[in-house]
């Protein structure tokens, strides 16, 4: 074999190998589109009006709770963290992340719960409670407009892979995976609704269907119930892994909290 030919064969083999590897790489939808682009103009207007947006009521509540002393320590969030408008800016875009103490994955809600129990020595806030929704919405809102930027490294790679596997796993009586709707068929119709790409950038979110604010994990449960799969509890490790995968998948999309959806 001549040298140029051998080189050509080598390049072809390398290209083949890369193509094979590329097929196994996790993929983001192209182009990335926020769920807001799949809703009607009324919903978009409602989200963008900072007074009419009903989620702002939770933000106001969260702002008040931030200043309120709680627990045996008699400390408020502000006592340690100061003004959330500066100290909490850009925090939400990095969650979920590995908690240094437990080496486990933790999301924003989990971090607030942990702070409340350990630092404030207060009654734990239940997942999906109005107080936790208000506080997590208030903290997440400080990152509004900033791009989602979860990074995958050796510490959280196994969580990421578990989340990705869950995303692609068929489940429930309908035998559907998340990917079959939100990766393969976004933009198409499911009944009257347009299927969105299913990004996690606007949570906690005000859904008109719920008539209230809800967490990302509540939304997961709605989808699981839709495909008639077993409902996992909010805050479960499986949901956290999935949340990490979604945070990576939405990488670069701006945070919208408090979002409004149908």
Partner 1 sequence: MTARIQVTPNPKRGDVIEIRIAIQHPMETGFRLDDGGRAIPKNVVNKLVCRYNNVEIFRAEMGSGIAANPFLDFFTVAEASGELVFDWVDDQGQTGSERVALTVTG
- The site for partner 1 (CB under 8 A) is made up of 51-52, 54, 56-58, 60-61, 64, 211-212
Q: Which C-beta is closer to partner 1: that of 153 or that of 209?
A: 209
Q: By the 8 A CB rule, do 204 and 215 touch?
A: yes
The nearest distance, CB 210 to partner 1, in angstroms, is: 9
The nearest distance, CB 131 to partner 1, in angstroms, is: 11
DSSP assignment letter at 189? E
The nearest distance, CB 56 to partner 1, in angstroms, is: 6
Please give the Cα distance from 255 to 199 (Å, whole number). 10
Please give the Cα distance from 65 to 59 (Å, whole number). 10
Q: SS3 sequence, 60-99?
A: HHHHHHHHCCECCCCECHHHHHCCHHHHCCCCHHHCCEEC
Please state, as a whole number, how many other Cβ atoms lie within 10 Å of the Cβ of residue 18.
10
> Hey, what are 48's tokens?
């963008």
Backbone angles phi, psi at 69, to 5 degrees: -70, 145
User: Active-site residue among 18, 80, 115, 223?
Assistant: 223
> Is 115 an active-site residue?
no
- The radius of gyration of the chain's CA atoms, rounded to the nearest angstrom, is 21
Q: By the 8 A CB rule, do 132 and 109 touch?
A: yes
DSSP assignment letter at 259? E
Please give the Cα distance from 22 to 83 (Å, whole number). 45
The nearest distance, CB 54 to partner 1, in angstroms, is: 5
Q: By the 8 A CB rule, do 147 and 254 touch?
A: yes
Q: What angle do CA 178, 183, 186 make, to 5 degrees?
A: 105
Q: Which C-beta is closer to partner 1: that of 104 or that of 228?
A: 228
> Hey, what are 159's tokens?
């969580």
Q: Which C-beta is closer to partner 1: that of 65 or that of 108?
A: 65
Q: Which C-beta is closer to partner 1: that of 57 or that of 224?
A: 57
The nearest distance, CB 46 to partner 1, in angstroms, is: 10
Q: Which C-beta is closer to partner 1: that of 65 or that of 229?
A: 65
- Positions annotated as catalytic residues are 223
């Amino acid at each position: 074999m001549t040298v140029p030919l051998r080189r050509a064969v080598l390049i072809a083999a390398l290209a083949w190998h890369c193509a094979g590897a590329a097929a196994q790489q996790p993929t983001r939808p192209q182009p990335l589109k926020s769920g807001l682009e799949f809703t009607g103009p009324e919903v978009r207007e409602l989200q963008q009006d900072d007074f009419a947006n009903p989620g702002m009521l939770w933000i106001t509540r969260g702002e008040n709770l931030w200043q309120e002393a709680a627990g045996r320590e008699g400390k408020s969030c502000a006592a340690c963290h100061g003004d959330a408008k500066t100290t909490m800016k850009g925090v939400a875009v990095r969650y979920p992340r590995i908690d240094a103490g437990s080496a486990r994955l933790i999301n924003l809600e989990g971090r607030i719960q942990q702070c409340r129990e350990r630092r404030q020595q207060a009654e734990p806030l239940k997942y999906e409670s109005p107080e936790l929704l208000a506080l997590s919405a208030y903290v997440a809102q400080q990152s509004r407009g900033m791009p989602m930027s979860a990074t995958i490294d050796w510490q959280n790679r196994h969580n990421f892979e578990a989340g990705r596997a869950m995303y692609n796993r068929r489940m429930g009586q309908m035998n559907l995976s998340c990917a079959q709707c939100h990766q393969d068929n976004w933009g198409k119709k499911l009944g009257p609704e347009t299927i969105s790409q299913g990004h996690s950038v606007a949570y906690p979110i005000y859904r008109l269907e719920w008539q209230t604010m809800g967490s990302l994990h509540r939304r997961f449960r709605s989808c699981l119930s839709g495909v008639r799969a077993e409902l996992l509890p909010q805050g479960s490790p499986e949901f956290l892994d999935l949340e990490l995968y979604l945070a990576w998948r939405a990488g670069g999309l701006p945070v919208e909290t408090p979002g409004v959806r149908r």
